[in-house]
Amino acid sequence: MQLSNETTLFMQKAIYYVSKPMAARGMLELTDRCLYFQVFPFDASFGIKNVSIDVVAITGVTIEKGDLHPKISVLADRKYEFVLSKGQQLYDRLKELQRNPLQQGADCEIPDMLDCPCGRKVENVFHFCPWCGKRL
């Protein structure tokens, strides 16, 4: 998922609130350049898209106490809300990155297609190649 020169700072399963009534489960990953949220295949099948935010594009981060886990709001081109058990840790990491931003711009695109060793292009929503069955 990440570029070869990126370092993962944080990774955890999280819930992404697309809008008030709509949420998606997935894997949240913060690198020194990008914040990624990769929607799990079941929720992706409802058309919920992956998220990728350039760390230098983040203008604000807030943390709120939730019913069970903290809610982290990330302001960039719009507001992104994530709920996760290690929310405080993510918040601290994001704040740290905001204080010491990397100068270079990042390419935070999550690839839509993966290359399977069988030679087929496979959509990023699959855990297994639909043609050869290999785990991706």
Nearer CB in complex with Zn ion: 102/118: 118
Task: Considering only the stretches 46-54, 69-77, 95-103, 121-129, report the one whose residues sit in contact with Zn ion under the rule CB under 5 A.
Answer: 121-129
- Altogether, the residues listed in the chain come to a count of 136
Give the separation between CA 63 and CA 134, rounded to whole angstroms.
39
Token couple for 52: 């990728």
129 contacts Zn ion (rule: CB under 5 A): yes
Binding Zn ion (rule: CB under 5 A), the pick from 3, 22, 102, 132 is: 132
Residue in 58, 57, 50 with CA at minimum distance from that of residue 111: 50
Give the count of residues interacting with Zn ion (CB under 5 A): 7
Q: Which position has the token pair 């992706």?
A: 44
Nearer CB in complex with Zn ion: 56/116: 116
Token couple for 88: 């405080």
Binding Zn ion (rule: CB under 5 A), the pick from 3, 102, 113, 118 is: 118
Give the separation between CA 78 and CA 115, rounded to whole angstroms.
31
Residues 88-117 interacting with Zn ion (rule: CB under 5 A): 116
Residues at the contact surface with Zn ion, assessed by CB under 5 A: 116, 118, 120, 129, 131-132, 134
